[in-house]
Amino acid sequence: MPQRDGDHDAIVIGAGAGGLTVAAGLAALGRRVALVEAGRIGGDCTNVGCIPSKRLLHLSRDPALRADPPALLAAVRATRDGLAAREDDEVTTTEGIDVVRGRAALAPGRRVTVTGGDGVRVLTAPHVVIATGSRPRVLAVPGLPAGRLLTNETIFDLADAPRHLAIVGAGAVGVEMAVAFARIGSRVTLVDTADRVLPDAEPEASGALAAALVEQGVVIRLRTRVVAADPATGDLRTDGGAPLHAVDAVLAAVGREPNVGDVAAAVAVVPGGVRVDAWGRTSAPGVWAVGDVTPVAHQTHAANAHGRRIVQAIALPWIPRIGRPPSIPSAVFTEPEVAWVGPTAPERARRCHPRALIDLRVDLAGTDRGLTDGVTRGFVAVTAVRLTGRIVAATVVGPHAADLLPLLTLAIDRRISLLRIQRMVHAYPTHAAAIGAVADAFARRTLPHLPGEALAYGRHRFARSPAGRRHRTT
């Protein structure tokens, strides 16, 4: 394996979702890549993220398995370790990728210093891709023994379900772990300083999920901060309301910090991480960044998508870099699932005049499949441009919501009107038919009132919003 300096077309620092996408993509196009990794191949997603969490959520659905949490948690680790070993094997045997074990530091001039078991080596190449990822933001709870403070990096190593698990942070990680640990028998208290769970989603999705979590036995404490712990009793004191009693373990899920320490000397860093443009270029020529270390792409699929763009920019630079980047959906694999795509309500309010848009919603409980499958909550909500029916944003809450969303994602990317969606035929009875019902509702609210809708469209489509900015919605 040639590892001398100068042999490589690119050096990729970090073998997580973003780094692997770039390394594998470049290697497939005939480039020689040095892939530097200090920890395990696969990064957070494979080892301490999506894979173990989704495996835990899946297994915990089975009443027989969840009766034995230690065995279930061991099974989660076995799946995770099997995938990690397979990915390690695949990467190390990929033609064109040289795996360099060690910790990398980037200096100006694309000089990468790797410190590993076998000493220090300096590598350079025409392209350096920063994919150093992120780490859990630290939660300071005075009095809490370090052994009781978990993050996503340690929770999957638990030997058993805690009796009382306090989860601080009601974002995607927090709500998914709340569902999973409630299922396997933990008493779960979910605490957040925000005024709703899943604050990145639409408020109505937060409301539906919160009601479902309560039904599943999760205690939710919003607008609440954990301020201290009593190491003797396990009680957690908060800045308002009663303390949380006898907490065995605290999961800190309060966000991520980009790992910029070893690269900040070479590239411009903003509060969210390494500054990049839409194609992953940093402030330094030939240096790119992808994934959690940037401010823009904090999900595995986002890192993959950005990684693909970097591969194109490096290896196929003659392809014109035109067209809007594709929409990046979000999904949370709770019960019910929550999935959404497009700008959220505050972003829409900045970009569009509210009267240029129409909000549509169909409750799954009112559909025939919702009836047969006993769906009590869940909905498809779509925001579209009036008159034209172009879809701006969509949220789905319900059974396999994340697998219902792609139709709407494609419609957003390809600018397909709800009037076109209305013409397509859904198999009966499916949950996806609720998307057809949303399109029907749009047609009913638009076609009989064309003059009024056209007037509203003409008046507000390019109008200044109440905030005084100029809008373009189509």
Question: Footprint of its own copies on this chain (CB under 8 A)?
Answer: 17, 45, 50-51, 54-55, 57-58, 63, 79, 83, 299-302, 304-305, 326-331, 339, 368-369, 371-374, 399-400, 402-407, 409-411, 413-414, 416, 420-421, 423-433, 435
From the CB of 333, what's the least distance to its own copies, in Å? Answer: 9
From the CB of 310, what's the least distance to its own copies, in Å? Answer: 15
* Between 214 and 447, CB nearer to its own copies: 447
From the CB of 453, what's the least distance to its own copies, in Å? Answer: 18
* Between 328 and 463, CB nearer to its own copies: 328
Q: In Å, how far are 105, 304, 315, 411 from 14, measured between CA atoms?
A: 11, 14, 19, 34
Give the CA angle between residues 200, 211, 149 to the nearest 5°: 65
From the CB of 391, what's the least distance to its own copies, in Å? Answer: 12
* Between 328 and 349, CB nearer to its own copies: 328
Contacts of 55 (CB under 8 A, 6+ apart): 75, 76, 79, 80
Q: In Å, how far are 92, 181, 383 from 79, measured between CA atoms?
A: 20, 18, 39
Contacts of 84 (CB under 8 A, 6+ apart): 40, 41, 42, 46, 47
Amino acid symbol at 415: R
Token reading at 425? 């035929």
d(CA 179, CA 174): 9
Helix (H) or strand (E) holding 98: strand 97-101
* Between 262 and 363, CB nearer to its own copies: 363
From the CB of 410, what's the least distance to its own copies, in Å? Answer: 6
From the CB of 28, what's the least distance to its own copies, in Å? Answer: 8
d(CA 425, CA 471): 34
Classified as helix, coil or strand, 465 is coil
**Residue 231 · residue 369 · CB < 8 Å:** no
* Between 38 and 328, CB nearer to its own copies: 328
* Between 294 and 327, CB nearer to its own copies: 327
From the CB of 61, what's the least distance to its own copies, in Å? Answer: 9
* Between 259 and 417, CB nearer to its own copies: 417
Of the candidates 45, 254, 52, the residue with the CA atom closest to the CA atom of residue 170? 254
* Between 251 and 407, CB nearer to its own copies: 407
From the CB of 429, what's the least distance to its own copies, in Å? Answer: 6
d(CA 280, CA 356): 33
